[in-house]
Chains A and B, each alone.
Chain A
Amino acid sequence: MTADIEIRNVSKHFGTMTVLDDLSLSIKAREFIVFLGPSGCGKSTLLRMIAGLETVDSGEIAINNERIDHLPPGKRGIAMVFQSYALYPHMSVRDNMAFGLENIGMSREVIDARIGEAARILEMARLLERKPGQLSGGQRQRVAIGRAIVKEPKAFLFDEPLSNLDAALRTRTRIELAQLHQRLQSTMIFVTHDQVEAMTLADRIVVMNDRKIEQIGSPMEIYERPATKFVAGFVGAPAMNFVEATLDRSGRNATASFADGVSVQTEIASSQLADGKHTFGIRSEDVRVVAAGQGNADGVVDVLERLGERTLVYARLGDGQQIVGSDAGNSRVAVGHKVGLAFDGQKSHLFSETGRAWHAREA
């Protein structure tokens, strides 16, 4: 079972506060979609509205062209995995998984068969008679997913399900979730504020901020061609470098100049750019660390972060702005050294005052 989910002009208010403002979104069947955004952006509220745990103030939600926003949660054919797992503490794992099926009057044989299958998929057959209190965080997470699987829902909803796990387990569970999606081929909606989870799991990411959708796109679209300055800054670690710039639009492509006279020839068409102040943006991996005097700008190294395969170099320009560049894993650069920074014009971005982004022409 799978589902096309259509969200049309949905708004939500809590008292006088608007949480979601006229939001529309189409989710395709079998798609793994991730709602990504900072705390308070409305992503969890949107998920809960799809689940039926929050009412829809205006607009509508449909699954497979059937309006569901007036239906109670249990009648929508969806399953949800909560951040806190929300397992029933007094019931065994088996009873936790059976509860939803018993409520719809399913026969014992079918319930047992489904639990057996879910336990096999999630490799938790030996846990079935235990209570949630006797399980580790990772095991509880599996049970919560198992409880969702046995319902054979049209869509799975995940509300920050990995947040309570330690780093190693989070990575493992992330991979298992991706495998589960491939196996079940169900529509999955996953809410997170962790961009790594979003980038690794999603077919498409919906980046949300301040009650609105900022951008919908594949992980690489979001990363390489962010629609707004917010998206550019929110996705990617370390965050994209931003520098205030003035533009020279006399040529075919714009040239960005920084306060201390540094200039970068971009590959962004001058014709599409408007007047006014702009911000130049570039990711750390697109700023090469070279010998002083050899790049677009020189800077003094403030901090080094050695990540193994590469070294992040935090260099301060003459006007005091900090730029993060990238060097080899075994970089010989040291704190206090003067280095050159070479900007890749092809990979640079420009942002207007309203936050709108322009990128180099697509190859």
Chain B
Amino acid sequence: MRAPAISIKGRAFGDRVLLALVILLSIVMLAPVLWVIGLSLKENAELMANPNSVFQAPYTLKNYINTIGTSSVFIWVFNSIIVSGGLTLGTLILSSLAGYGFARLNFPGRNILFVVVLFGLAVPEQAVLVARHQIFSLLNFHNTYHGLILPGLSASFGVFLMTQYFKAIPKELDEAAMLDNASRFRIFWKVLLPLTVPAQATLGIFTFLGAWNDYLWPLISATKKDMYTLTVGMASTQTNFAQSEGIGFLMAQAVFAGAPILIVYLFFQKYIVTAVSGAAVR
């Protein structure tokens, strides 16, 4: 009878250690966010004189008012929403269709083609950057939305994920639907696709966040200020070394910039946790 008591005590101690770690990590994660919000509520001149004044009143909304009045941040947020949204939608459509094809259709060269797709996972973006830049220049795709969206649509990971997911769905469902007189597209659309929602959510979240945070390709392709995405736009506002001027204004822009992604997190929290834990990918 002693052994379980020790075990419970041990578990309680372990739980406390775990809780302490979670609190510590939460502070580490939240500190920069609180710091940004704090800086955005301070006068720029005051911050320049004393960066530590972030902890002292008075606070002001002046930076937010200035941002609304003068900043291009809303254009950049809009651009990022268009690019990330378009890329996510396109990736989901193409990956689902390709995944269905690889999982369910028999066509010559299917296996070789799938290996080619898998190779895509191993090729880093930097390796194709110059060639892609030249092609897009020839096609006049730079400084357009499709120029920002198209490269991301060749999503090897998405095709791989959806292929595996479609393969895991029992073929009897297709067969039952065939006996139910459903066309191949109807089987895909009405029977199989709804069953891939967990995988779609995983892929959609990863794609959206990846596109939202992408910096390299927008930096090359979007050279006009009104085509900047948020990452490029924010970087362009950092005018001098260490950003000793106008830091409050910059942070107010950052708060506006972070709001959409925060909303995405709030709405898709359940799916994000599932996606990150890998539980949706069996």
Which residues of chain A have a CB within 8 Å of any CB of chain B? 51-53, 72-75, 78-80, 82, 84, 86-90, 99-100, 103-104, 147, 151
Q: How far is the CB of B236 from chain A (nearest CB, A)?
A: 46
Contacting residue for A90 out of B175, B180, B195, CB 8 A: B195
Interface residues in B188-244 by Cβ distance below 8 A to A read 190-191, 194-195
Chain B count of residues within 8 A CB distance of the other chain:
16
Q: Please tell me if the beta carbons of B179 and A74 are within 8 angstroms of each other in the complex.
A: yes
Q: Please tell me if the beta carbons of A78 and B179 are within 8 angstroms of each other in the complex.
A: yes
| Cα separation A147 to B177 with both chains bound (whole Å) | 11
| Cα separation A90 to B178 with both chains bound (whole Å) | 17
Q: Does B68 reach chain A (CB closer than 8 Å)?
A: no
Indicate whether A51 sits within 8 Å of B179 (C-beta atoms), given known contacts A86-B170, A86-B173, A90-B194. yes
Q: Who on chain B is nearest to A76 by CB?
A: B179
Q: Does B186 reach chain A (CB closer than 8 Å)?
A: yes
Q: Please tell me if the beta carbons of B181 and A80 are within 8 angstroms of each other in the complex.
A: no
Q: Who on chain A is nearest to B179 by CB?
A: A73
Q: How far is the CB of A103 from chain B (nearest CB, A)?
A: 4
Q: Does B176 reach chain A (CB closer than 8 Å)?
A: yes
Q: Please tell me if the beta carbons of B173 and A73 are within 8 angstroms of each other in the complex.
A: no
| Cα separation A35 to B38 with both chains bound (whole Å) | 77
Contacting residue for B180 out of A53, A84, A100, CB 8 A: A100
Q: Please tell me if the beta carbons of B178 and A53 are within 8 angstroms of each other in the complex.
A: yes
Indicate whether A84 sits within 8 Å of B178 (C-beta atoms), given known contacts A90-B194, A99-B190, A103-B186. no
Of listed A84, A86, A87, residue having the most chain B CB within 10 A: A86
Contacts of A88 in B (CB 8 A): 173, 176-177, 191
Contacting residue for A86 out of B176, B181, B186, B195, CB 8 A: B176
Contacting residue for B179 out of A80, A84, A87, A90, CB 8 A: A80
Contacts of A147 in B (CB 8 A): 176, 180
Interface residues in B77-102 by Cβ distance below 8 A to A read none
Indicate whether A104 sits within 8 Å of B181 (C-beta atoms), given known contacts A86-B170, A89-B195. yes
Indicate whether A99 sits within 8 Å of B172 (C-beta atoms), given known contacts A89-B195, A90-B194, A90-B195. no
Contacting residue for B181 out of A74, A82, A90, CB 8 A: A74
Q: How far is the CB of B70 from chain A (nearest CB, A)?
A: 50
Q: Does B182 reach chain A (CB closer than 8 Å)?
A: yes
Contacts of B175 in A (CB 8 A): 51, 53, 73, 80, 82, 86
Q: Who on chain B is nearest to A84 by CB?
A: B172
Q: How far is the CB of B32 from chain A (nearest CB, A)?
A: 41
Q: How far is the CB of A132 from chain B (nearest CB, A)?
A: 11
Q: How far is the CB of B173 from chain A (nearest CB, A)?
A: 6
Q: Please tell me if the beta carbons of A100 and B190 are within 8 angstroms of each other in the complex.
A: no
> Could you write out 20 A-B pairs with CB less than 8 Å apart?
A53-B178, A74-B178, A74-B180, A74-B181, A78-B179, A80-B175, A80-B179, A82-B172, A84-B170, A84-B172, A86-B172, A86-B173, A86-B176, A88-B177, A99-B177, A100-B180, A100-B182, A103-B180, A103-B182, A147-B176
